[in-house]
Amino acid sequence: MSSRDMATAQVQDRILSAAEDLYYRKGFAVVGMDELRTAAGVSLRRLYSLFPSKDGIILAVLARKHAEWERGVAGQVAAAGSDRRQRLLAVYDFLQDWFSTEDFRGCAFINAFGELGGTNPEVARAVREHKQSFQAQMLTLARELGATELLGAQLAILAEGAQSTAAITPDSAAAATARAAAEILIDAALRKQPATC
């Protein structure tokens, strides 16, 4: 990568970091390009040369948030080691850590969908793809445990509900409550498995 390309990438990163912060704190719809330009410390011309539309910035922010989520969940699951039950429950430990941060304001994807999902098909698609990806992760973890895909779907819904509850209350205990419910569901699913010879 040339020094010019590196400089461009750094400016793009600065813009996206500023956008992520502003959108998360204030909302996607209310933050204009001028406010974003000021926060990022770039000219309006430079901003538009890198991101010709606000939609492009929103989608890029959501792509970054998706990658951050995937890394965070995968890291927490990996830290749980080889115990398959604990690997499933690690998702709720990840949520607990996230909900306990000072700047937690709910799921950026749920926020984006609530504001823009009805009028912006690209944002709606990005949100759906993110949520489908998380559900697929949970289905994989459930299958690794030897449970059905139904358990994975149930545990994903618990995690989604915890995110919404923690954002509204705000109370990080939603993660612990969801984890306790997940343990009950996991144990019940494992009891239903047919005995093997």
> Do 112 and 165 reside in the same domain of the chain?
yes
Task: Count up the domains in the chain and report the number.
Answer: 2
17-21 contacts, C-beta under 8 A, 24 or more apart: 19/57, 19/58, 19/60, 19/61, 20/61, 20/64, 20/65, 20/108
pLDDT of residue 193: 63
Domain residues for the domain of 111 are 54-191
At 50-108, the pLDDT tens digits run 999 999 999 999 999 999 999 999 999 999 999 999 999 999 999 999 999 988 999 99
Is 33 inside a domain boundary? yes
> Do 96 and 161 reside in the same domain of the chain?
yes
pLDDT of residue 197: 39
> Do 42 and 114 reside in the same domain of the chain?
no
CATH of the domain at 100: 1.10.357.10
CATH of the domain at 9: 1.10.10.60
Is 196 inside a domain boundary? no
- C-alpha–C-alpha distance, residues 169 and 81, integer Å: 32
Segments in the chain below pLDDT 50: 195-197
Is 130 inside a domain boundary? yes
- C-alpha–C-alpha distance, residues 77 and 88, integer Å: 7
